[in-house]
């Protein structure tokens, strides 16, 4: 077999093979081709997305480290910073959902403590097929168990997340994890192989054959031929990860540590080539020195293995024994297997003999960038519907209860109760509200974190959908009392080689970028996952946004639950005539139709500023944003969370179902003491935000009357206990196990 044929078998194109030959000035051997095949895969190289990702705003006064490292880092005051990252583990989770999700969480943790930050919180964003499908239920159950078991064992709380079920994810589930860690400014460590002559060490677990070609596997479609492929699967050990984390946290206090890099996708080759390239140096290693779990491993297997719980450490020459002592204490390997060089080459030896030699920079960033064709999908022209022809439902109570019974709206307690939410004693607001809130020990400060996405909106209108995700994430932080400061994204799409998919990707990124820029929330890290397609269909375009907010005083946080009988309930923002894209149409009426709700970012910012200022002034007892399910669902959630009722009346020219279940953006429900209403009205007037009194916290039922020109056109009256029961049992009632 020729080298070109071997390259094709490894997933390299003719163009890429020619570029490799041009770089090396010779044909590569099989080992070298294997290195390029994983490093130039989409998963590692972002060759299909780099050009588009440059559109993101990545700088800001609080950004200490933007994209390009293992995680982004943002200043939160008091000489402290938060490291954060989102990563996907979609394809592995489709093959083995337990290990796929568990190792996804493990990889995220390593990305964080690699930066010198102690992990303090995990979140997740999950997408599966509908629960009436046996495989979807299996994937959901096992993925949740994998996340919970790994995080619980290592002692990092899972404090938030989201779960959606839709037919578009039946063949290709999405498992995205987010992790945050805290680090003093002067303890931040970067992944650079600096200092010629310094030692390159591999620490942690031994290397085996698990995870072979995992990066390449993650860069292709799931097909009948590869969905049962076992070789790309990593196997996680959370207890070993805990040992590794503690050993690394001890190590990173030492001034002689030069750089640290997680061995995630592509294992040794990615960690060595990336650290060398960042420093403009080379690295020479001997693979025979790598601790091996399996017998007779070939050099290419050692180089591309994705065995878990391993790190690359660069230390000043002469401190190798110091590293070994730390890791021996934690019952882990620590072996010098290489040296930093000045020639820019990644040189691979086996027992002292050179078996491969390539420029580190070409592996880490030399892939030919692809500019894909982008074409607006024809289906977008077929999604318009005359909503006036849809009959107005006569029983609004029935609609409300049916929406609360949908897994995408119902309580996710069956999921988050499997996670330890309070280990570390930092968690102030646990899952179930709009965002998690954590205290920063030793200070008055707190942080709020959320992860959000809406693939359906992005399917109906990729640009507006992208804007909406950023706006909603920021809104979730604001209603919790936090100022949004930075975001990390997970961009999940189908095959970028299809022009319609690439159009979705580009427009979503444009929407995300425009909203992030106007709201002043830079993108500091993220992940792209393409080829999320099965044999029959691609997923909805499904970007997710993890966002961080800061509270100057954590005691001034806010939650969604109605708290006090007699409080006045107000609406910030304006109800709009937007029924398209609603879950009411999609799930109850089986109408897939747009347009998705529009987001006016200027108006959105005013509403958020008003809400945040009101919370900071102590005017507000509860706050909750209006998203899926509309106004009625938001009110129901406030009632259920507080176990108390609501009575109100709204005058509106909108159809009753549009008013109640339409998902117009830039709206927030707040409750407050009546004595604070005049102050709120003054604040809102100064900011140009509409405030409407819609009712009062009262009784044990949700009661709402809708009037048009003094005529009642709709009523809702449902006991809170009934709503809570329906919401609580929705997911469990659909599961067979």
Residue list, annotated binding site for ATP: 46, 85, 489, 526
Contact 723, 640 (CB under 8 A): yes
Contact 455, 542 (CB under 8 A): yes
Tell me the binding residues for substrate. 88-91, 110, 234, 306-308, 529
How far is the C-alpha of 415 from the C-alpha of 706, rounded, in Å? Answer: 35
Q: Please state the separation of Cα 639 from the chain's center in Å.
A: 29
Instruction: Assign 632 to helix, strand or coil.
Output: helix
Rounded to a whole number, what is the distance in angstroms from the first to the last CA of the chain? 50
- Which DSSP symbol is given to 66? -
- Residue 358's H or E segment, with its range, is strand 353-359
Cα 102–108–112 angle (5° rounding)? 145
Give strand pairing partners of 163: 126
Contact 126, 176 (CB under 8 A): yes
Q: Which of 89, 213, 557, 624 is catalytic?
A: 89
How far is the C-alpha of 259 from the C-alpha of 268, rounded, in Å? Answer: 15
How far is the C-alpha of 132 from the C-alpha of 283, rounded, in Å? Answer: 52
- Which DSSP symbol is given to 65? E
Q: Is the link from the previous residue into 539 a cis peptide, with omega within 30 of 0?
A: no
* Catalytic residue list contains 557: no
For the beta carbon of residue 394, count every other beta carbon within 10 angstroms: 9
- DSSP one-letter string for 279-290: HT-EEEEEGGGS
Contact 315, 199 (CB under 8 A): yes
* Catalytic residue list contains 89: yes
Tell me the binding residues for Mg(2+). 87, 111, 262, 527
In order of 191, 345, 373, 682, the CA distances from 358 in angstroms are 20, 6, 31, 66
How far is the C-alpha of 102 from the C-alpha of 119, rounded, in Å? Answer: 16
- DSSP one-letter string for 172-218: S-EEEEEEEEEEEGGG-------STT-EEEEEESPB-STTTTHHHHT
- Residue 315's H or E segment, with its range, is strand 310-315
The catalytic residues are: 43, 89
């Amino acid at each position: 077999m020729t080298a070109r044929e071997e390259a094709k078998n490894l997933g390299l194109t003719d163009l890429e093979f020619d570029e490799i030959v041009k770089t090396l000035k010779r044909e590569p051997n099989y080992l070298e081709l294997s290195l390029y095949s994983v490093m130039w895969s989409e998963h590692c190289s972002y060759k299909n997305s780099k050009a588009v990702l440059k559109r993101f705003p990545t700088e800001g006064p609080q950004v200490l480290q933007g994209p390009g490292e293992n995680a982004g880092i943002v200043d939160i005051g008091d000489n402290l910073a938060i490291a954060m990252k989102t990563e996907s583990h979609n394809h592995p989770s489709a093959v083995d959902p337990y290990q796929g999700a568990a190792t996804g969480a493990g990889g995220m943790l390593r990305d964080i403590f690699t930066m010198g930050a102690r992990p303090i919180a995990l979140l997740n964003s999950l997408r599966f097929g509908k629960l009436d499908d046996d495989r979807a239920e299996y994937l959901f159950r096992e993925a949740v168990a994998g996340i919970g078991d790994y995080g619980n064992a290592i002692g990092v709380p899972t404090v938030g997340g989201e779960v959606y079920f839709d037919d578009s994810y039946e063949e290709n589930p999405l498992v995205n994890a987010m992790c945050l860690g805290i680090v003093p400014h002067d303890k931040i460590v970067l992944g650079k192989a600096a200092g010629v002559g310094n030692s390159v060490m591999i620490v942690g677990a031994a290397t085996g054959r698990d995870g072979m070609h995992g990066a390449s596997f993650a860069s292709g479609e799931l097909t009948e031929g590869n969905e049962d492929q076992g070789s790309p699967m990593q196997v996680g050990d959370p207890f070993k990860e805990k040992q590794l984390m503690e050993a690394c946290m001890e190590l990173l206090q030492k001034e002689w540590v030069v750089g640290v890099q997680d061995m995630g996708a592509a294992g040794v080759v990615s960690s060595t080539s990336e650290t060398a390239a960042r420093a403009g140096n080379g690295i020479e290693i001997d693979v025979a020195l790598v601790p091996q779990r399996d017998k007779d491993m070939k050099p290419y297997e050692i180089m591309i293995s994705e065995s878990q719980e391993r790190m690359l450490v660069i230390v000043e020459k002469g401190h190798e024994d110091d590293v070994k002592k730390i890791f021996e204490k934690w019952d882990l390997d620590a072996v010098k297997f290489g040296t930093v060089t000045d020639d820019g080459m990644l040189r691979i030896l086996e027992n002292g003999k050179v078996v491969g030699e390539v420029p580190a920079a070409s592996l880490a960033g030399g892939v030919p960038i692809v500019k894909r064709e982008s074409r607006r999908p024809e289906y977008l022209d077929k999604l318009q519907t005359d909503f006036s022809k849809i009959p107005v439902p006569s029983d609004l109570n029935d609609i409300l209860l049916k929406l609360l019974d949908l897994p995408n709206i119902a309580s996710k307690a069956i999921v988050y109760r499997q996670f330890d939410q309070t280990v570390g004693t930092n968690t102030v607001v646990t899952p179930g509200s709009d965002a998690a809130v954590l205290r920063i020990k030793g200070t008055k400060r707190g942080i709020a974190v959320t992860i959000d996405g809406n693939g359906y909106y992005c399917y109906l209108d990729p640009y507006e959908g992208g804007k909406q995700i950023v706006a909603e994430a920021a809104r979730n932080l604001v209603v919790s009392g936090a100022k949004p400061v930075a975001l990390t994204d997970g961009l999940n799409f189908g095959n970028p080689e299809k022009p319609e998919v690439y159009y979705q990707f580009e427009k979503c990124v444009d929407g995300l970028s425009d909203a992030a820029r106007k709201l002043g929330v830079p993108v500091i890290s993220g992940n792209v996952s393409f080829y999320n397609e099965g044999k029959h269909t691609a997923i909805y375009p499904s970007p997710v946004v993890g966002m961080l907010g800061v509270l100057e005083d954590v005691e001034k946080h806010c939650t969604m639950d109605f708290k006090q009988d007699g409080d006045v309930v107000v609406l910030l923002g304006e109800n709009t005539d937007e029924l398209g894209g609603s879950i009411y149409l999609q799930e109850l009426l089986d109408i897939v139709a747009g347009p998705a709700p529009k987001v006016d970012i200027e108006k959105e910012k005013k509403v958020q500023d008003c809400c945040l200022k009101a919370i900071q002034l102590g005017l507000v007892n509860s706050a909750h944003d209006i998203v899926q399910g509309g106004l009625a669902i938001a009110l129901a959630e406030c009632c259920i969370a507080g176990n108390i009722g609501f009575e109100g009346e709204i005058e509106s020219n909108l159809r009753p179902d549009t008013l109640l279940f339409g998902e117009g953006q830039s709206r927030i429900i707040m409750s407050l003491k009546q004595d604070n209403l005049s102050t709120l009205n003054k604040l809102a007037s100064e900011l140009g935000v509409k405030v409407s009194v819609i009712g009062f916290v009262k009784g044990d039922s949700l009661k709402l009357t809708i009037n048009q020109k003094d005529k009642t056109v709709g009523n809702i009256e449902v006991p809170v206990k009934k709503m809570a029961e329906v919401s609580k049992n929705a997911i469990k009632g659909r599961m067979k196990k």
